[in-house]
Amino acid sequence: MSFAELGLSEKVQQAVAASGYTEPTPIQAQAIPHVLARRDVLGIAQTGTGKTAAFTLPMLTMLETGRARARMPRTLILEPTRELAAQVEENFDKYGINHKLSVALLIGGVSFGDQDAKITRGVDVLIATPGRLLDHFERGKLLLTGVELLVIDEADRMLDMGFIPDIERIVKLVPFTRQTLFFSATMPPEIQRLADAFLHNPVKVEVARAASTAATITQRLIATGREDYEKRETLRDLIRGATDLKNAIVFCNRKRDVAVLHRSLQKHGFNVAALHGDMDQHARMAALDSFRSGEVPLLVASDVAARGLDIPAVSHVFNYDIPHHAEDYVHRIGRTGRAGRAGAAFTLVGPGDEKSLAAIEKLISQPIEWEGQTLAERPASPASSSSRRRVRGGSERSRGRKGSHPQSEASGEQPEAPREERAPREERAPREERAPRREQKPRDNQPAREQRGRSRHESRHDQDSEAPVVGLGDHVPAFLLRPVPVKKPK
């Protein structure tokens, strides 16, 4: 089948041919005719199969008629991350070269003023992340009543990332008669229920089993230790030992680990860039551009780079951390082996990762082979044993007050003998026979007056302790000793 058989316009076909594509992918061949027929579409396909072009190409054909109005976009595309939104804009620039359509990109990290200027002139295609889109709407700079086509790309990721309230609000703001397209690589049952609320009598296009991985990707597990330095050493050995490695993406679960691993690889002489959500937009785009161009062969990233990024020639993917959610594994390794190319995905598995690994194998319905020793065959790392000894030593140290002496045991010295028990009270010498108490001399830094006052107080205390005190004793205040005048009766 060719693109001419899908019903696309002549301008779109020319742009596709100029880009070097001759045959549509399965998801494009099945979805494009339904989109052109104004049907709601739920598209499920594994990553790297051309989902972006499956809605970009028919949108260009449909937008050839009509014109945009100020602050009222004709179509709206929602993306979970800034990188995906920028990538969709690149697709419109490439395939819409023969069209005079205005495209606006609303993402964070960019000036509001420049975005407002584009919206004010009127846009045919509005590509946005949910948060920035609602910011413009609340400022009164944007109206969504003219949206004819709504696209929710990477639908499961949009809903998993906590965008459910924002998506529901945006869907209520667009007209009820709009056309809605859902495209995703995975569609769990709970996400399916939410999608049913947004779509009206949709056509389900599923070209691959949900949550399946490409057959061109070689998947392997690598056993490693629990300590971070052991994992970094294992990763470095993998990178150095890969003979066919052209470029690779290393995925971490946390942004902090991305920064730590990035510095570690740089310290060991690797040419590497970092990408995570806390970076500003300019730095993120610069890291992606350097990786795409081949200037930097290694990219350490969080899951912000796991969804939909189209970097065709990635040869390897390394999961430094096994993902917490099994669906993220499908998206991560989908960055390699795209468009029929061969790829390799290595996942580092340490003690405590067995549950996450079992969830991944259950999702993809296939076991993943081990490279070398399995986790059970790998000997326990000495570092973890010493750390356990340190923990036990700490508990013994806390118990040392009850008789043990861990510091002496560690140094090999004999602990001190316990002190002799004190003699019973009746065996002690009486107070009179003991040596007289040495009189304390006043300190140099204390005034003599204070010392004299303390001596008088102590002497009074000694005298008072010999006899019981009646009333106020000898210390009657002077005002109580004054005579009280008594008036004589008249």
| CATH number of domain containing 171 | 3.40.50.300
Predicted local confidence at residue 409, as pLDDT: 38
Q: Is there a single domain that holds both residue 97 and residue 185? A: yes
Q: Are residues 227 and 98 in the same domain?
A: no
Stated pTM of the model: 0.61
- The single-letter DSSP state of residue 297 is S
Asked whether residue 160 falls in the same domain as residue 230, the answer is no
Do the domain assignments include residue 413?
Answer: no
Whole-angstrom distance, CA of residue 24 vs CA of residue 18: 14
Task: Let me know whether 350 and 280 are in one domain.
Answer: yes
Q: Which two tokens stand for residue 135?
A: 């910011």
Q: Check whether residue 18 and residue 164 sit in a common domain.
A: yes
202 Cβ contact partners less than 8 Å away, ≥ 6 residues apart: 39, 40, 41, 42, 180, 182, 195
Residue 67 domain boundaries: 3-206
Nearest to residue 35, comparing CAs of 194, 185, 148, 156?
148
Instruction: Identify the segments of the chain with pLDDT beneath 70.
Output: 46-48, 160, 208-211, 307-309, 339, 380-474, 490
Question: Does residue 340 share a domain with residue 241?
Answer: yes
Q: Which two tokens stand for residue 208?
A: 């691959």
The count of domains in the chain is: 2
Distance CA 347, CA 235 (A): 10
- Cβ 107 vs Cβ 138: under 8 Å: no
What pLDDT score was predicted for residue 81? 85
pLDDT at residue 465, rounded to an integer? 45
Q: Are 181 and 119 part of one and the same domain?
A: yes
